[in-house]
Amino acid sequence: MTRPLAPTKDHPLVRWTLTAVALGFIGLFLVLPLVVVFHDALGDGLTAALAAIREPDAIAAIQLTLTAAAIAVPLNAIFGIAASWAIAKFDFAGKGFLVTLIDLPFSVSPVVSGLIYVLVFGLQGWLGPWLAEHDVKIIFALPGIVLATVFVTFPFVARELIPLMTDQGRDEEEAAVSLGASGWATFRRVTLPNIKWGLLYGVLLCNARAMGEFGAVSVVSGHIRGLTDTMPLHIEALYNDYQYSAAFAVASLLALLALVTLVLKSLLEWHFAEEISAAHHH
């Protein structure tokens, strides 16, 4: 029974152990909590769960979350493309610094990022008096929530695109220009198609995070029910009120939104598999 193993093959025991560990880990830390969320949402029955979602404060929270994401995600897609374009295709002084700066939101605690906005725009902040004079509300209002969301989710698109664009180099853009294409035509016909999958992935991650952000938004929101509570904040409020199944019902919806984005991404990848592989293997 001592069949020699192929030199490149690991012992089956090693393979099984590794697979089991990976699956176990995913099951325990990713799948199980999701299942619990959906299970507990139905603790008081489906009608109660649906009612929790249809209740006015919940609807306001859903609308606020979707609005904030609908503003923050396109902004970050544009900023992300611009920043990665500049970093990957041009040489300029302070490039290294810009790359570090892009990572800042990942390294700074979201609560701190939220506080920064309060310090700048809050009533006691640098711009507070001026803003109050001109009747502009940023903190404890939609603009503040959007700003905090933009800040926290900024790196997703840029992080996805910088390595991709750096790897692709400038050759194709130079070729396009020498063939007579304008800057805009070069971007639309050459750059954008080459990065579209990376961009889509970045946008989906950015969106998932934008809808789920808690810390930074919590600081700037002011927690006014039905007005400045986003879905995550609403869930927390419900939970703190001991309305567990309502909390889990809204949480399920939030989780569903995230799952939908992932499914969407997989579907697109599956549908365009050939084109994606053509874009990568040159």
Partner 1 sequence: MSLVIEKVEKRFTDFAALKGVSLEAPDGAFLALLGPSGSGKTTLLRILGGLENADLGHVSFAGLDWLTIPARERRAGFVFQQYALFRHMTVAKNIAFGLEVRPARQRPARAEIKRRVEELLSLVQLEGLGGRYPSQLSGGQRQRVALARALAIEPRMLLLDEPFGALDAKVRKELRGWLKGLHTRLGLTTVFVTHDQEEALELGDLVAVMNEGRIEQIGPPGVLINAPATPFVADFLEDALARSPDTNLRSLVRARTIK
Q: For residues 184-203, which are near partner 1 according to CB under 8 A?
A: 185, 189-190, 193-194
From CA 248, how far away is CA 207, in angstroms rounded?
21
Handedness of CA 151, 252, 236, 26 (dihedral sign): negative
From CA 58, how far away is CA 126, in angstroms rounded?
34
Stretch binding partner 1 (CB under 8 A), from 3-11, 27-35, 176-184, 220-228: 176-184
- Whole-number minimum distance, CB 154 to partner 1, in Å? 27
Among 180, 240, 242, 270, binds partner 1 (CB under 8 A): 180
For residue 60, how far is the Cα from the chain centroid?
21
Among 7, 12, 171, 242, binds partner 1 (CB under 8 A): 171
- Is residue 24 part of the contact set for partner 1 (CB under 8 A)? no
Q: Using the minimum distance from each CB to partner 1, give the nearer residue, 84 or 168.
A: 168
Q: Using the minimum distance from each CB to partner 1, give the nearer residue, 168 or 207.
A: 168
- Is residue 175 part of the contact set for partner 1 (CB under 8 A)? yes
- Whole-number minimum distance, CB 95 to partner 1, in Å? 14
Question: What are the CA-CA distances from residue 145 to residues 80, 92, 205, 230 (Å)?
Answer: 19, 33, 18, 9
Task: Name the amino acid, one letter, at 58.
Answer: A
Stretch binding partner 1 (CB under 8 A), from 167-175, 212-220, 239-247, 248-256: 167-175
- Is residue 3 part of the contact set for partner 1 (CB under 8 A)? no
Per DSSP, the three-state class of 259 is: helix
- Is residue 278 part of the contact set for partner 1 (CB under 8 A)? yes
From CA 185, how far away is CA 199, in angstroms rounded?
18
Among 2, 47, 124, 178, binds partner 1 (CB under 8 A): 178
Question: What are the CA-CA distances from residue 18 to residues 4, 10, 11, 61, 115 (Å)?
Answer: 21, 11, 11, 42, 43
From CA 84, how far away is CA 156, in angstroms rounded?
11
Q: Using the minimum distance from each CB to partner 1, give the nearer residue, 22 or 179.
A: 179
From CA 148, how far away is CA 215, in angstroms rounded?
9
- Whole-number minimum distance, CB 186 to partner 1, in Å? 8
- Is residue 166 part of the contact set for partner 1 (CB under 8 A)? no
Q: For residues 227-246, which are near partner 1 according to CB under 8 A?
A: none
Provide the total of helices (H) and of strands (E) in the chain, helices listed first: 15, 0
- Whole-number minimum distance, CB 89 to partner 1, in Å? 13
From CA 82, how far away is CA 84, in angstroms rounded?
6
- Is residue 163 part of the contact set for partner 1 (CB under 8 A)? no
Q: Given the rule CB under 8 A, which residues bind partner 1?
A: 171-172, 174-182, 185, 189-190, 193-194, 275, 277-279, 281-282
